[in-house]
Amino acid sequence: MGLSSSQARLLSLTGRMHDIEYKAQRIEAQKLQLANKTRRVYEDYLNALEQIRIQNKILNTDGSVTFVDTTFNNFIGSKVNDNSIYILRDLESGKIYVPNEIRSAFNNSDKTIDGFMKSLDSVISNENASYTSITSAEELMSLSGSSGNFRLDKDLVLDNWEGISNFKGTFDGNGHTITINNSQEGLFLDTNGATLKNIEITGNINNTDRIYYHGLLAAYSSNTTVENCSVTGSIHGGKYIGGLIGQLQGNSSVINCDANVDVSADLISSDNGVSEATKWDCVSYSGGFIGRCEGNVSIENCKSSGDVSSEYDIIGGFIGITYRGSINIKNCVSEGNVEANRNGLSTNFDATLSKKTVRPSGTFLGECLNTATVNIDNCYAYGMPMNDGGGIQTKYSDFGTSYNATSLTVTDSYSKYANNIPAVTTIRPQASDIDQTNYPNVPSDMMNYYVQMFNALTEAGGALTVDDEHANDPDWFSNIVTNGFAIISTLTIKDNYFELYDVSVAVDTNLQEVENKSKLRKAEAQYEADMKRIDMKDRKYDYDLAALENERNAIKQEMETLKTVAKDNVERTFKLFG
């Protein structure tokens, strides 16, 4: 009985010893993790010691000079000297960070100095106007049937958007971006007597349900003023499709707007519930900018960049069709290519339908129809046909074909299709070249600054903005520069001399790098707090390991004693039976 009891005790002690070894190994692993954390805390502290903050020189009213922490707001546009200003450029894209009002004015202009200044004048004049603020999709949808003044004060993303209907008021996009996802409609379904301005939209519309009228800004607009608006994306639908507006009519005007939208128009078919007998015209009447214009319409300083394609006919790189009324188009550009496939037409086409021939599509205007008077002045069409047209007539035009129209007049306008686009000489505008009375809301003492920024944005190819949270944060400015995401540059313009130079903080005497004392103080406090926590954990781990070591030694001693007892018992047994 003594032998079995000793063996049982030994087995129990052996199990306890294994458990102690496991616990000790786990604590050792925790101590190793703690050591790694100690190293990370120390590295963070060393990084904080190396953190710098960029400062820029300012001239005080008493003539003394002071260096202040550089922020986007206090630095961008400040003077290097009498002929140069500082700017901040994104290193990857080359675009320039600018205040929101400049970005909005530039993006929503025709990229000419006059278009930019007009857009800027409009933005500034609206800053103090009385508007109802819009900050959600629900508030935006509630504008259906409204006639008040509304301003967008936040970027919005619209999913499954159904469109604002019967809008009769003023909507100021305020330079914010509206993104339309998974939707069949643009921002507005229809507007009447409305003013739409400073709106930026990006979206992709695929509408197979509604036959007529599609546009990223508006499907159907009457007696509407549109200015400084920009749309980007794609539209696929039936007909009367425009990148900006599907149909524009009445006493309407569009100024300083841009549409970079790929437009794809398919003819009505039985797939969406319409019989083949209703295919009375076999046309799409769609364009990269506007699908159909009718009435007393003025379009000035606008551009379309997307490609336009159709299963059938009458599309235009800029406008699909002008239909009745007096339409004036001035200083506009179309860059998109056109492709009218005309797959459904053949010599056996049903003779009972009203149109048995196919009229041309155009790289700028598709067709001028039915008593319309159209004047196209100083416009350019850079797009080209992507095929020969197909079907029974293989003809394209550039600035449209007149069909029962009163007149179609084209002056000082050129197209790549006609191979007559003249060489363009770039002349940098100056403030002295501008009639400032045309822009009454732009401060005269800021005119040279705005002209220089326009030149810089033209050179760099676009603008970026900084949100309010970062615009006054010196850490954001220092981090984006020192970590290589952006670079400080100078913009110089004198007479006809224009230069954009990158500069270094190390050599520019107006700039300096100093310790980031606020970060250093925070890092020191954080380091001390973290090290105290680590030290407390480390001491507890050491205490637990010491306790395990004591227990292990006690068990080890007891196991040695039990082994000695067991050995003596065995020897006595052999003597009894020996």
Question: What pLDDT does residue 328 have?
Answer: 95
Of the segments 35-44, 265-274, 478-487, which one has the largest average pLDDT value?
478-487
Which of the two residues, 441 and 428, has the higher pLDDT score? Answer: 441
Question: What pLDDT does residue 37 have?
Answer: 76
Question: What pLDDT does residue 425 have?
Answer: 61
| 3-class secondary structure, 116 | helix
Segment 77-102 mean pLDDT: 81
Which of the two residues, 55 and 325, has the higher pLDDT score? Answer: 325
Segment 224-237 mean pLDDT: 91
Lowest-confidence segment of 212-226, 324-338, 352-366, 479-493 by average pLDDT: 352-366
In this predicted structure, the answer to whether residue 89 has a pLDDT above a threshold of 60 is: yes
- % residues pLDDT > 90 (the chain): 24
Contact present, 126 and 198 (Cβ < 8 Å): yes
Question: What pLDDT does residue 247 have?
Answer: 95
36-61 pLDDT tens trace: 777 776 666 556 555 667 878 877 77
Contact present, 423 and 390 (Cβ < 8 Å): no
CB atoms under 10 Å from CB of 158, counted, come to 20
CB atoms under 10 Å from CB of 147, counted, come to 13
DSSP string, 468-503: HHHHT-HHHHHHHHHTTSEEEEEEEEETTEEEEEE-
Of the segments 199-213, 348-362, 481-495, which one has the largest average pLDDT value?
199-213
Distance CA 78, CA 193 (A): 42
Closest alpha carbon to 291 in 227, 241, 232 = 241
Kindly report the average pLDDT of the chain as a whole number.
Answer: 80
Domain spanning 115-405 has what CATH number?
A: 2.160.20.110
Question: What pLDDT does residue 215 have?
Answer: 94
Contact present, 229 and 200 (Cβ < 8 Å): yes
Segment 287-311 mean pLDDT: 91
Distance CA 112, CA 110 (A): 6
Question: What pLDDT does residue 352 have?
Answer: 39
Query: Can you give the length of the chain in residues?
Result: 578
553-566 pLDDT tens trace: 888 887 777 777 76
In this predicted structure, the answer to whether residue 22 has a pLDDT above a threshold of 70 is: yes
173-208 pLDDT tens trace: 887 899 999 888 999 999 999 999 989 999 998 876
Question: What pLDDT does residue 351 have?
Answer: 36
- % residues pLDDT > 70 (the chain): 81
Question: What pLDDT does residue 402 have?
Answer: 83
Which of the two residues, 546 and 575, has the higher pLDDT score? Answer: 546
DSSP string, 356-369: -S-PPEEEEEEEEE
In this predicted structure, the answer to whether residue 348 has a pLDDT above a threshold of 60 is: no
In this predicted structure, the answer to whether residue 327 has a pLDDT above a threshold of 90 is: yes
Question: What pLDDT does residue 575 have?
Answer: 62
Angstrom distances, CA of residue 97 to CA of 56, 59, 93? 18, 24, 11
pTM for the predicted model, two decimal places? 0.66
Question: What pLDDT does residue 318 have?
Answer: 95
Question: What pLDDT does residue 391 have?
Answer: 47
Question: What pLDDT does residue 120 have?
Answer: 86
Lowest-confidence segment of 83-87, 443-447, 493-497, 506-510 by average pLDDT: 493-497
Q: How confident is the model at residue 261 (pLDDT cuts 50, 70, 90)?
A: very high
In this predicted structure, the answer to whether residue 77 has a pLDDT above a threshold of 80 is: no
Which of the two residues, 512 and 146, has the higher pLDDT score? Answer: 146
In this predicted structure, the answer to whether residue 411 has a pLDDT above a threshold of 90 is: yes
DSSP string, 68-92: EE--HHHHTT-EEETTEEEEEEETT
Lowest-confidence segment of 112-121, 345-354, 366-375, 501-510 by average pLDDT: 345-354
Q: Which two tokens stand for residue 470?
A: 């970062």
